[in-house]
Chains A and B, each alone.
Chain A
Amino acid sequence: MINLGLNYLNSLSVYVPEALALVVMVGLVFLEATYNHNEKRRMTNYFSLLGLLSVAIVLFLNLSLEPTTAFFNAVTIDPFSTLMKLMMTLGTMGAIYLNSVTKEINLNTKNEFNILVIGVLIGGMILSSANNMLTLYVGVETLSILSYVLASLKRSNEMSSEAGLKYSLYGGVSAGLMLFGLSHIFGVFGTIQFTGLVDQLNQLNLNQTLVLIPSFLLFFVGLGYKIACVPFHMWSPDVYEGSPLPVTTFFSIVPKLAGITAVMRISMIFLGGEGLFSTSIVGLLVIVSALTMTVGNVTAIGQQSVKRMLAYSSISHAGFMLMGVVVLGQEGVSAISYYSMVYVFMTLVAFYVVGFVSDHYGNDDFNRFNGLIKRNPLMAILLTVSMLSLSGIPPLGGFVAKFNILSAAVNNKFYTLAFIGGLNSVVSLYYYIKIVRYMVFNDEESTDSISGFNPLNKTVLVALSLPIFIFGIKWSGFLAITEKAVISIF
């Protein structure tokens, strides 16, 4: 009994970030229920941001921890998951700040957004360090259920309600399929633990393999749905477009990174072997990755709403990250970590600018960006930087991220996939520079500058963009972080 207690205490000591995030969330609920003041919205925003900052600091310090498991192998804490959690926390902070400066979710004194977002973050954290099937499922569900509410946060808006409903219907179905698949995997192995599965995988007979392949696919449906990879991506553009902008920002970062982390971990466990099972699944993942990139990009070209375009582009980025999953091994994980680091900042900058513009005009059509360079040069220049970085132009972070992924793929002889990835960058450039074209080449419709873009917000925007440059020019330091994070796993 005492041992059990000690074990829990021990486990809690490595589980501080999650616990801290939970404290912040519960604190927000209390604040919501008890405190009544007209400055409340600002207070809660500061509280959430400071709370998450402390989570981020703890996570940053934890980066140097040795990998360990906690709660009787239910979760694993390793530098890779810690790094991804750190990125998710930063993404959440960005979304909360964006929500605090834009008016789209105008709920007067309520702060559901902050509470829900932190809840999803906790779900994402659980998911990224899940070490058995149940924890994984709990993570996915925590992430999903709160997301459904988030999507329909703009209650009076039809689109938003539709987004919530669509999200929950798709989510429910895929969660069911996932659970069905998991139950079969449990049937094959007789355990819910991931640790030790690798050895068992190598001793499977043909019948077991034949059961395992479809059940793994069903299991993958659940995760594929979270990262919105083709063919489970149908929900995402509608949900992204319908949701309020801060929520979209959040959706394109946190659930995506959490899903990718989980997929990476699952692949490292299940696909390490040489047998029929792993080769067939890897082959399938190659196709999924190529399709995700291509479909996301090609569909993004025709979009009229910038938010929707960014939604499709985030699908294609998930495809790019899947390329790192296919590669497996140290290189793949390192490349994915780097990609996520850059992706968070690029996405935040893009959504941040789009948020201000759509807040000012009430929508985010491409025409709204006409002549932005004359009205708000800083905004236009930094959005351009973000777009060029997203399409992978050096010397910006996005290029280095793509370089890492491509080199991991080439080194493991996935030449065809690397070519598809490279050509997709070209396609993506087309729609990314479309918005640059509107901002820089077109004449302005009106001369008024974007409201609410005060010096503080300018500073935040610059601070968010700086990493894009640093990640692109002096990246050896960051590469060292990701490599260190990775080496300790293997």
Chain B
Amino acid sequence: MHRLLDYILWLPLLGALLILFIPSQKKDLIRWSALGTTLLTFILTVLLYLGFDESVAGMQEQFSVKFPWIEQFNIFYSLGVDGISLPMILLTGLLCFLCVLSSWTVEKSVKAYFALFLMLECSVMGVFLSMDFFLFYVFWEVMLIPMFFLIGVWGGENREYAAIKFFLYTFAGSVLMLVGMIALYFLSGKNVDSFNILALQGGKFSNEILNVFGTTLSFSKFFFVMLFIGFAIKVPVFPFHTWLPHAHVQAPTAVSVILAGVLLKMGTYGFLRIAFPIFPEASVYFKEAIAWLGLVNIIYGALCAMAQTDVKKLIAYSSVSHMGFVMVGLAAMTIQGTNGAVLQMFNHGTSTAMMFLMIGILYERSHHRWIVRPDGTKGFGGLYTQLPVFSVIFIISMFASMGLPGLSGFISEALIFLGIYQEFTTITVLAVVGLLIGAAYLLWMFKRMFFGEVIDSVKNYSDMNAREIFYMIPLCVAVVVFGIYPSPILNIMKASVGSLVELLGRFQ
């Protein structure tokens, strides 16, 4: 039990290695091994949840593992978990398991696909579990390799461009982070705690100055901006979002789900874990700017979504909009705002995963995703009468994504609004407009696809099969249950969020 984090981290990689030794003809065996691995990992994350003591705020205080890795640089292999990372770990475990189920129909190089997918799970877990900055960075980067191949090989028509754009964009962001990380290491005195994320926290670098590009700047502000860009590319915050629509549209369904459900959260997780606590005074200094950028995300993402004719691209832009809420919630630096942001990270993970999975299911039948084809004809029409089960589940996911009361999105958005109203009144008012646009584009999309005249091509679509229903059920349950009773998630994050807000409050 005390090495639980090790198992959660390495089990997927072990599964990937196992798959490499299975002959590539035995496709079913490969699929079942991948399923077994992800299921076991998910069970372990649930065990972690059950064994988690929610009254403890710190990351090092429970389940933590720490060994020296590179003595010369004081780099440690150190893992830990707290209330902010636990929801993300649970989400990763759940989504990866469901994604393997949804990838059952992948026929192209099955072995490589699942091996890479499990590598991806391992690296994502690593990001959320690392307490050492260097280790964090390594996992952050390693994640790019399986993503690059998953998009580039199994993606849609324009996959190469999307994969390379994704790779280059995120790599550029991480290089900035790398320089920041190295600078922190030396500034904090090259001691045993210099790569320790927790020990670096608390605004120790407030008074340092820096000579760079021929001018004198505040160290913390300069490197906060570096880290901010690094993480903002991942979120993605406007104007660094241009890789996202391409990557989403081209990626295979399961990869889109992981990308939207988990990878985007790595960006905001980076703010919560690294950028904010290490440079609290700089975060407070820039908080208004971050909030405005978040607002741009909300409105701009929603307007872009409204203009899309490709339904997957529409959902991709809706992610941009929803992550804007997280950004605004974080920028408020209040208890409710941060709670809402973390909860929104979790809830958006489930609801957007549902949307992408549903679109994937639809795509397997239609082989296109046009709401309106480029020639002006309808891509879908009257799906509601043809695919009743599909439609019901689609409605649930759509309403969850829209933030309808009773479903999970509502709680987190309400909390965010509560948290930011005191801080940024104007932004709150404008953000509500974003919410309205959100409802508009989703309902309009729904109307165009599900209602109206049944077009010919829709008539021979089959409804969801048992496997598809099976992997949608857990997510449906999640959005309904956490919409009515969010306490299980809110309680575990309470202590950790509280200590973060308290730390930031000292610099307000």
Chain A residues near B (Cβ < 8 Å): 388, 393-395, 399, 403, 406-407, 410-411, 413, 415-416, 418-419, 422-423, 425-426, 429-430, 433, 437, 440-441, 475-476, 479-480, 483
B149 within 8 A of partner (CB): yes
Minimum Cβ distance to chain A for residue B166 (Å): 11
Q: Given B145, B153, B179, which contacts A388 in the complex, CB threshold below 8 Å?
A: B145
Known: A433-B148, A476-B71, A479-B70. 7 other contacts (CB 8 A): A394-B141, A395-B142, A407-B182, A410-B182, A418-B179, A475-B70, A476-B70
Q: Are B149 and A440 in contact (CB under 8 A)?
A: yes
Q: Are B212 and A416 in contact (CB under 8 A)?
A: yes
Minimum Cβ distance to chain B for residue A309 (Å): 16
Residues of B within 8 A of A476 (CB): 69-72
Q: Are A430 and B168 in contact (CB under 8 A)?
A: yes
Majority SS of interface residues in chain B? Answer: helix
B197 within 8 A of partner (CB): no
Known A407-B186, A433-B164, A476-B70; judge A393-B178 contact (CB<8 A).
Answer: no
Q: Are A422 and B176 in contact (CB under 8 A)?
A: yes
A-B complex: 8 closest residue pairs judged by Cβ atoms:
A422-B175, A394-B138, A415-B212, A410-B182, A476-B70, A426-B172, A407-B182, A411-B186
A334 — nearest CB in chain B belongs to which residue?
B72
Q: Are A479 and B72 in contact (CB under 8 A)?
A: yes
23 pairs, CB–CB < 8 Å, chain A vs chain B:
A393-B142, A393-B144, A393-B171, A394-B137, A394-B141, A399-B138, A407-B182, A411-B182, A415-B183, A418-B182, A419-B179, A422-B176, A422-B178, A426-B168, A426-B172, A433-B164, A433-B167, A437-B160, A440-B149, A440-B152, A441-B153, A476-B70, A479-B73
Q: Are B171 and A410 in contact (CB under 8 A)?
A: no
Minimum Cβ distance to chain B for residue A77 (Å): 25
A377 — nearest CB in chain B belongs to which residue?
B112
B211 within 8 A of partner (CB): yes
Q: Bound state CA distance, A422 and B172, in angstroms? A: 8
Q: Are A430 and B185 in contact (CB under 8 A)?
A: no
Compute the total of residue contacts between A and B using a CB distance below 8 Å.
Answer: 82
Q: Are B213 and A441 in contact (CB under 8 A)?
A: no
Residues of A within 8 A of B69 (CB): 476
Q: Bound state CA distance, A429 and B183, in angstroms? A: 23
Residues of A within 8 A of B72 (CB): 476, 479-480, 483
Known A416-B213, A429-B171; judge A403-B142 contact (CB<8 A).
Answer: no
Q: Are A403 and B152 in contact (CB under 8 A)?
A: no
Q: Given A395, A410, A425, A441, which contacts B186 in the complex, CB threshold below 8 Å?
A: A410
Q: Given A393, A399, A410, A475, which contacts B183 in the complex, CB threshold below 8 Å?
A: A410
Q: Bound state CA distance, A395 and B145, in angstroms? A: 11
Q: Interface readout for B146-163 with A: 1 if CB under 8 Å, 0 if not?
A: 001100110000011001
Q: Interface readout for B93-130 with A: 1 if CB under 8 Å, 0 if not?
A: 00000000000000000000000000000000000000
Residues of A within 8 A of B175 (CB): 422-423, 425-426
Q: Bound state CA distance, A406 and B213, in angstroms? A: 17
Q: How many residues of B contact A (CB 8 A)?
A: 35
B433 within 8 A of partner (CB): no
B210 within 8 A of partner (CB): yes
Q: Are B182 and A406 in contact (CB under 8 A)?
A: yes
Minimum Cβ distance to chain A for residue B454 (Å): 38
B151 — nearest CB in chain A belongs to which residue?
A441
Q: Bound state CA distance, A43 and B83, in angstroms? A: 67
B68 — nearest CB in chain A belongs to which residue?
A476
Residues of A within 8 A of B186 (CB): 407, 410-411
Q: Given B153, B176, B185, B210, which contacts A407 in the complex, CB threshold below 8 Å?
A: B185
Residues of A within 8 A of B176 (CB): 422
Interface centre among A411, A426, A430 (most CB of B within 10 A): A426
Q: Are B164 and A437 in contact (CB under 8 A)?
A: yes
Q: Bound state CA distance, A52 and B172, in angstroms? A: 41
Q: Bound state CA distance, A410 and B159, in angstroms? A: 37
B183 — nearest CB in chain A belongs to which residue?
A410
B164 — nearest CB in chain A belongs to which residue?
A433
Q: Bound state CA distance, A480 and B212, in angstroms? A: 32
Q: Are B141 and A441 in contact (CB under 8 A)?
A: no
Residues of B within 8 A of A429 (CB): 167-168, 171
Residues of A within 8 A of B163 (CB): 441
A480 — nearest CB in chain B belongs to which residue?
B72
Known A393-B141, A411-B186, A422-B176; judge A441-B168 contact (CB<8 A).
Answer: no
Interfacial residues of chain B within 158-205, with CB under 8 A of chain A in the complex: 159-160, 163-164, 167-168, 171-172, 175-176, 178-179, 182-183, 185-186
B72 — nearest CB in chain A belongs to which residue?
A479
Q: Bound state CA distance, A406 and B167, in angstroms? A: 21
Interfacial residues of chain B within 412-451, with CB under 8 A of chain A in the complex: none
Residues of B within 8 A of A388 (CB): 145
Residues of B within 8 A of A413 (CB): 211
Q: Bound state CA distance, A209 and B451, in angstroms? A: 85
Residues of A within 8 A of B213 (CB): 415-416
Interface centre among A394, A399, A425, A483 (most CB of B within 10 A): A394
Q: Bound state CA distance, A412 and B210, in angstroms? A: 12
Minimum Cβ distance to chain B for residue A462 (Å): 14
Residues of B within 8 A of A437 (CB): 152, 160, 164
Q: Bound state CA distance, A264 and B141, in angstroms? A: 31
Q: Bound state CA distance, A437 and B182, in angstroms? A: 31
Q: Are A430 and B164 in contact (CB under 8 A)?
A: yes
Residues of B within 8 A of A403 (CB): 178, 182
Q: Are B148 and A441 in contact (CB under 8 A)?
A: no
